[in-house]
Structure 1
Amino acid sequence: MDHASHSTLNPAGAAAEQISQLFYWMLAGGIVIWGVVVGLAVYAIFVRKEHPLRMTRALVIGGGAVIPTVTLSGLMAYSLSIMPELHRPAPDGSLTIRVSGVRWWWRVEYLTDDGEVEFETANEIRLPVDRPVEFKLVSEDVIHAFWIPALGGKMDMIPGRENRLRLDPTKVGTYGGVCAEYCGTAHAQMMFRVIVSDEQEFDAWRHQQRSDAIIEPASNPFGRQVFWRRGCPACHTIRGTEADGSVGPDLTHFGSRMTIGAGILPNESDALKRWIVRTHRVKPGVEMPGFESLINAPVELDALVAYLEALR
């Protein structure tokens, strides 16, 4: 499994940078208040008797009420001042991506300037560096929350409502995203990967994603037969074939993704076999049925895995 960054304190986006600065200012303010209060406690215990009562009252009122009030008011004013920038919409013509929260995975649709779906993928988002991106966030079932800590703040995904979030990636790298709102059994296993790359690499990936799956029927006809015989097309789409299910993730370019199961396993042969035959043990609550009967049919399992890995 790759080590994607999940840290807001290691920002790779403009919004995350502001949130990180806010954290350090709040930390500094907390240290000031803690130091004053602890200092007053030490004073009260060890040196109070050496000073008149009037001075003691002044120190308690100043250090226990005035300084914390001024410090917290300053922090509140600063936090409110950055909110307009954090909620600023992306400019017209920006890359637009619609992300749907589904128990317990992510449907990712890249949109054209006209709002039409250009292509669909799942559990993985690729972005160009130094370009604003607008996310349209929706939910297909319960309340979820979309959060990429290294790039910005979180945004709730509410059934029947579309929320929007602007992010501005500033560093090339791989970053982790999570669902930040408890949504049921597999909430903690509802993750995704975000790959920020330069413009040229992103454009090449986008061009490849627009195309149908490149499948040579003669290369693995048995694997394709297993895919159909086991009923996989009822839930999954593979563009360029007759598989057009929409319940589960689009598998058109599945073999090129980094992870499976919404970020919980690396996209490798052994992990994929485990996912297929032990689905509910790997991710309790998931709606995908487990194909445990394939344990006793290793030839079928190997062919199916090879077929899925070839979808690039």
Structure 2
Amino acid sequence: MKRLVSMAFATASALLLQGCAGWQSALDPKGPAASELAWLIWFFTGLCAVVWVLVMIALAAPLTMRSRAQAEPLAIDVGADGRKLRVVLIAVALTAVILVGLTLLSFFANRTLAAIGSDAALTIRVTGHQWWWEVRYEDATPGRILTTANEIHIPAGEPVRLLLTSTDVIHSFWIPSLSGKLDLIPGHMNVLDIKADKPGVYRGQCAEFCGAQHANMGTFIIAETREKFDAWWNDQLQPAAAPTGGEAKVGQDLFLRRPCVMCHRIGGTPAGGTVAPDLTHIASRQTLAAGTLTMSRGNLAAWIADPQGVKPGSHMPVVDLSGDELNAIVAYLEGLK
């Protein structure tokens, strides 16, 4: 029996600790902001656990202690009343000290978080849509301003400033391994500073219920060396590659003659829509539909053929395509790297 209890306890502990690690855990920090928040979480949790144990002991003690018999039950014990008053006063004082201490810790943590992006050289504007992320890299040279979607590339080891806003409802930007949550509010700009300690891929999520596909509004922060980041930016600034194969050429012609061009933009072509993700280099991304599907030919075809089946309620309409037309458009988009 004892062995079964031990095994059950070990299994339960392992399951509980699964939430403390992984690429979407606030307790697995990969940057200074997340490290500060994780330390704060552990400290608050530990202190509150100690307080809870002490309160339980204080409640249990009177129930287990046997009261002394008194000759006169109605007699007032001045000494006992004084001791009880001192205990209450000490408890009130400790409560006040704990609350003030936690408040000060939160204040200094906020100061640390605010200082992370004080010397940020890179500014990225992130706009929330139902249900995807528009990502715009700001630059003093207009020709180097870059717009992409759902994936945010940053140089590892360098602070980055994110300007957050929304075009429709309130969203919330959260990369647990790198930072805390911050809302994206229509008509208002919030500022979030992040920094990744080392190269890696960090998953994020909209943390504010924003409609039917809130759960499928993911994003990825891709931190890489400065050299790789600069090379990626320069590649993304290039217009879309011209199709080479016959099927891809047919696909480009179909894309430009269908309603796709009303919503999507592809650099170097007449497609100039701005209400949906930029597709100039769509095949270079890791996922489709804001993290809903991994990037592959099959998933690309499934998303185009039946977007409402993949992501019900999304604003991507169903376009009537034959099998050959669908394959041609997929072949074209698959070459946009």
TM-score (norm 1): 0.90
Deviation at 1:216, TM superposition (A): 2.8
In structure 1, how many angstroms separate the alpha carbons of the residues matched to 2:257 and 2:27? Answer: 49
In structure 2, how many angstroms separate the alpha carbons of the residues matched to 1:262 and 1:80? Answer: 34
Amino acid at match of 2:273: G
Task: Please name the residue that 1:271 is paired with.
Answer: 299
Amino acid at match of 2:277: P
Amino acid at match of 1:142: V
Task: Please name the residue that 2:191 is paired with.
Answer: 164
In structure 2, how many angstroms separate the alpha carbons of the residues matched to 1:262 and 1:48? Answer: 64
Task: Please name the residue that 2:227 is paired with.
Answer: 200
Greater C-alpha radius of gyration: 2
In structure 2, how many angstroms separate the alpha carbons of the residues matched to 1:240 and 1:234? Answer: 16
Deviation at 1:73, TM superposition (A): 2.6
- Is 1:189 matched with 2:216? yes
Amino acid at match of 2:59: A
Amino acid at match of 2:111: P
Task: Please name the residue that 1:19 is paired with.
Answer: 37
Aligned with residue 260 of structure 2, among 232, 246, 252? 232
Task: Please name the residue that 1:310 is paired with.
Answer: 335
Q: Is the 8 A contact 2:218 2:291 kept in 1?
A: yes
In structure 2, how many angstroms separate the alpha carbons of the residues matched to 1:214 and 1:238? Answer: 10
Deviations 1:137-189 (Å, cap 9, x if unpaired)?
A: 12112221221111111222111122211112112211111112222222221
In structure 1, how many angstroms separate the alpha carbons of the residues matched to 2:268 and 2:43? Answer: 53
Deviations 1:124-149 (Å, cap 9, x if unpaired)?
A: 00111111111111211222122111
In structure 1, how many angstroms separate the alpha carbons of the residues matched to 2:39 and 2:68? Answer: 42
Decide which moves more: 211-220 or 197-206.
211-220
Amino acid at match of 2:329: L
- Is 1:97 matched with 2:115? no
In structure 2, how many angstroms separate the alpha carbons of the residues matched to 1:97 and 1:89? Answer: 15
Q: Within 5 Å, give how 1:95-244 maps onto structure 2.
A: 95-113=122-140, 118-219=145-246, 220-244=248-272
- Is 1:61 matched with 2:88? yes
Amino acid at match of 1:73: V
Deviations 1:261-301 (Å, cap 9, x if unpaired)?
A: 1111101122222211221122122111023x43xx22221
Q: Within 5 Å, give how 1:240-255 maps onto structure 2.
A: 240-255=268-283
1:163 to 1:115, Cα distance in 2 relative to 1, 3 A:
farther
- Is 1:47 matched with 2:75? no
1:246 to 1:4, Cα distance in 2 relative to 1, 3 A:
farther
In structure 2, how many angstroms separate the alpha carbons of the residues matched to 1:36 and 1:4? Answer: 33
Decide which moves more: 12-21 or 67-76.
67-76
Amino acid at match of 2:54: V
Amino acid at match of 1:154: K
Deviation at 1:61, TM superposition (A): 2.1
Deviation at 1:63, TM superposition (A): 7.3
Unaligned ranges ≥5, structure 1: none
Task: Please name the residue that 1:282 is paired with.
Answer: 310
In structure 2, how many angstroms separate the alpha carbons of the residues matched to 1:85 and 1:218? Answer: 54
Name which structure has the greater RCO, CA cutoff 8 Å, separation 6+.
Answer: 1
Deviation at 1:117, TM superposition (A): 6.1
In structure 1, how many angstroms separate the alpha carbons of the residues matched to 2:120 and 2:38? Answer: 28
Decide which moves more: 167-176 or 245-254.
167-176
- Is 1:300 matched with 2:328? no
Q: Is the 8 A contact 1:37 1:64 kept in 2?
A: no
Task: Please name the residue that 1:31 is paired with.
Answer: 49
In structure 1, how many angstroms separate the alpha carbons of the residues matched to 2:260 and 2:88? Answer: 70
Q: Superposition RMSD on alpha carbons, in Å?
A: 2.4
- SS of the residue corresponding to residue 67 of structure 2 reads helix
- SS of the residue corresponding to residue 193 of structure 1 reads strand
Deviation at 1:20, TM superposition (A): 0.5
- The number of aligned residues is 307
Aligned with residue 114 of structure 2, among 87, 96, 101? 87
